[in-house]
Amino acid sequence: MHHFTIATVAEESADFRRVLWTGEKSQLVIMTIPPGGEIGDEVHEGIDQLLTFVSGVGEARVGGETREVRQGDLVAVPAGTRHNFVNTGVNPLVLYTVYGPPEHADGAVHRTKEEADRAEHAA
């Protein structure tokens, strides 16, 4: 069994992206987006994504729609849908996300967006 007090784990991580657990069909990842930062405009072909926001405020830009997100919100991004999440607040935007199937290397830790982008381009 893998057990996480997920909001606490997410809040305690300053990393842009940290893979916590990878299964055969899904993956759990925590993210911290700094003020003024963003995940970056992207599309995951064949991968659904659920994002749950732990703290901070931001914008969800999904499939041409924009909505504010804050603590307790969950956004579902169907496979093949263009999306981006932007921190519009003064504090970090902290979230956890589930990918199905997995998207990132098991155990991957990217301390910054730039480090994450380099790792994705190298794959």
Structural domains of the chain, ranges and CATH numbers in brackets: 6-121 (2.60.120.10)
Mean pLDDT of 66-79: 98
Q: What is the pLDDT of residues 1-41, one digit of tens each?
A: 999 999 999 999 999 999 999 999 999 999 999 999 999 99
Distances in whole angstroms, Cα of residue 75 to Cα of each of 48, 60, 71, 83, 119: 11, 8, 12, 11, 25
Residue 29: closest CA among 116, 89, 121, 122: 116
Cis upstream peptide for 35 (omega within 30°): no
Are 29 and 96 in contact by the 8 Å Cβ rule? The answer is yes
